Amino acid sequence: MMKKTKIDWCDFTWNPVTGCRHTCEYCYARRLAQRFCGDVRLNKSSDRLQLDAPRGIYTLKEPFLNEDGTLTTHYPAGFEPTLHEYRLDMVAQKKKPANIFVCSMADLFGEWVPTEWITRVFDACKAAPWHNYLFLTKNPQRYCELANAGILPKEKNFWYGTSVTTKGAPFFNGSVTYNAFLSIEPLHGHLEAGIGSFGGVRWIIVGAETGNRRDKIKPQREWIENIIETAALTHAAVLLKDSAEMREVWGDDLRQEFPPELQRPAERPLPRCEKCRFCETKIQGKRGKTRTCEIGWSADPAYDDRHEPRHIPAHYAKQSPLWCPLRKEDCPYEAED
Ligand code: SF4
Ligand code: SF4
């Protein structure tokens, strides 16, 4: 399932793994899964849902469908950890580059998740390198363990987020090797952040608690100001999540920044090869087309004097590829005369 999302810091959510064993009281994902799980006892008796009994986790090869082909439930095992194998190749089927929040309905890096599941998700992401992947965990120690084992991908389109809510919570620090971000949501206290508090994280997302929970905590303006001031010390981008609760505290002028690599087409229109004067299209066979970019190699300074045509892969038929020189703000070329 790839879902266009209302979450304002990503374009899509993708849930090859669902379920979580953390016990956050404010958990929206658990409420959603439990509401739309159908008859879990009946589902668990189906052959399709394979139980790994010692670990209490499930693998689902095919979705649960009604006779008319519609989906019975997205969460046949409720909120129990489940690998949905049939969802793994969905990101590769989506050709338009997007910022994808991986496993919004799980903690993919929870202690209970087998490393094999994590590496299968990483492999699926690597098979579609034109997207940005945003991971988020409450267990940043697992990132460290995977990094130490040489398993944590170093691809620049992988962003490793830590979810924190209060002062002093551990987080995965950014470095030249790994892009890291923080999701402070819901903000449940004054972080009293100062120099060095946010290390090398590149992006800080702040959200107020939403919903109708009885003990819901309303953030104070000075807590948010403290985060913004501290982020400025290390030039980290800050995004205040849009919600009625946040607007009540902060007003309507919400700060919504993205790191440059994650800026989305809506904010920076992408060049279109189809309309570009540097794009040459050749018909191959009866229906096939190949496209080449006349100036493609000059996107790389090492090839600046090589103006050799470069193949434009088919999945970029409409928008330009990631290496397109016109995507750079200081590009000397104009797409049209
Ligand atoms: S970590 Fe996320 S998914 Fe897991 S219980 Fe907490 S809020 Fe829910
Ligand atoms: S890659 Fe960029 S420069 Fe090349 S044809 Fe496409 S839009 Fe034009």
Q: In what helix (H) or strand (E) does residue 35 lie, and over which residues does it extend?
A: helix 28-35
Domain harbouring 73, CATH code:
3.80.30
Residue 137 Cα: closest atom of ligand 1: 1
- 76 and 151: one domain? yes
pLDDT tens-digit profile of 17-30? 999 999 988 888 99
Res 294: pLDDT: 85
Q: Are residues 250 and 277 in the same domain?
A: no
pLDDT recorded at residue 230: 96
The percentage of residues in the chain with a pLDDT greater than 90, rounded to a whole number, is 62
Whether 267 is covered by a domain: the verdict is no
Does a structural domain hold residue 134? yes
Could you tell me if 31 and 106 lie in one domain?
yes
Neighbours of 45 (CB within 10 A): 9
Regarding whether 242 and 182 lie in a shared domain, the answer is: yes
| For residues 293-302, average pLDDT | 68
What's the Cα-to-Cα distance from 50 to each of 24, 121, 217, rounded to whole Å? 27, 18, 39
Domain annotation covers residue 333? no
Instruction: Tell me, using a 6 A CB cutoff, whether residue 19 lines ligand 2.
Output: no
Ligand 1, atom 1, lies closest to the CA of: 22
- Evaluate whether residue 268 is within a structural domain: no
Rounded CA gap, 126 and 153, in Å?
A: 9
Atom number of ligand 2 nearest to Cα 333 = 3
The CA distance from 110 to 99, in Å, is: 22
Split at pLDDT 50, 70, 90, the class of 66 is confident
Q: Quick one: 77 and 28 in the same domain?
A: yes
Q: Is 155's pLDDT higher than 90?
A: yes
Domain that holds residue 72: 2-262
Cα–Cα–Cα angle for 193, 25, 22, rounded to 5 degrees: 85
Q: Check whether residue 196 and residue 126 sit in a common domain.
A: yes
How far away, in angstroms, is 79 Cα from ligand 1 center? 10
Report if residue 334 sits inside a domain: no
Q: Please give the Cα distance from 10 to 140 (Å, whole number).
A: 20
In a domain? residue 323:
yes
Amino acid in the structure at residue 237: A
**258 and 282, same domain (yes or no):** no
Q: Decide if 164 contacts 171 (C-beta within 8 A).
A: yes
Question: Ligand 2 centroid to 326 CA: how many Å?
Answer: 7
Q: Clarify whether residues 286 and 184 are in a common domain.
A: no
Residue 204 counted as domain residue? yes
Q: Are 200 and 310 members of one domain?
A: no
List the alpha helices (DSSP H) in 207-301.
221-233, 244-250
- Give the other-Cβ count within 10 Å of 42's Cβ: 9
Ligand 1 site residues (CB inside 6 A) read: 20, 22, 24, 27, 29-30, 107, 138
> Residue for token digits 């995977």?
146
Question: Which amino acid is located at 148 in the chain?
Answer: N
Beta carbons within 8 Å of 283's beta carbon, 6+ residues apart: 289
317: pLDDT strictly greater than 90: no
Ligand 1 center to residue 20 CA distance, Å? 6
Number of domains in the chain: 2
Q: What is the pLDDT of residues 32-47, one digit of tens each?
A: 999 989 899 999 999 9
Q: Are residues 282 and 150 in the same domain?
A: no
* Residue 304, pLDDT score: 55
Instruction: Indicate whether 190 and 46 sit together in one domain.
Output: yes
Of 259, 258, 280, 265, the residue nearest 319 (C-alpha): 265
CA of 18 to the centre of ligand 2 (A): 39
Note whether residue 21 is domain-resident.
yes
| Confidence bin at 137 (pLDDT 50/70/90) | very high
Together in a domain, 189 and 279: no
Mutate which of 137, 138, 184, 185 for ligand 1 pocket (most atoms within 8 A of beta carbon): 138
pLDDT score of 299 more than 60 = no
DSSP helix, strand, coil percent of the chain (3-state; round to 5) = 25, 20, 55
